[in-house]
Structure 1
Amino acid sequence: MPKAIGYAAKAADQALEYFEFERRDPTANDVEIDILYCGVCHSDLHQARNEWGGTVFPCVPGHEIVGKVTRVGNQVSKFKVGDTVGVGCMVDSCQSCANCDAGYEQYCDNGFVGTYNGADKHSGGQTFGGYSNRITVTEKFVLKVADNLDLAGVAPLLCAGITTYSPLRHWGVTEGHRVGVVGLGGLGHMAVKIAKAMGAEVVLFTTSPSKIDDGKRLGADHVVISKDAEQMQAWTNQLDFILNTVAAPHDLDAYLSLLRLNGTMTLVGVPAEAHPSPAVYNLIAKRRSLAGSLIGGIAETQEMLDFCAEHNIISDIEMIDIDNINEAYERMLKSDVKYRFVIDMASLKQK
Structure 2
Amino acid sequence: MTLRSLLLSAAATACALPAMADVNIYTTRQPELIEPVMAAFTEATGIAVNLAFVQDGLVERLKAEAGRSPADLVMTVDIANLQQIVDADVIQPVESDVLTAAIPENQRSPDNLWFALTERARIVYASKDRVADGEVTTYEDLASDQWQGRICTRSGTHNYNLALLSAVIAHHGEEAAREWAAGIRANLARKPEGNDRAQVRAIWAGECDISLGNTYYMGQMLADPEQTEWANSVRIIFPTFEDGGTHVNVSGIAMTKAAPNREEALQLMEFLVSPEAQSIYAELNSEYPVLPSAEVSELVASWGSFDADTVDLTELANHRPAALRIMEEVNFDG
TM-score (norm 1): 0.32
Larger strand proportion of the pair: 1
Larger helix proportion of the pair: 2
TM-score (norm 2): 0.33
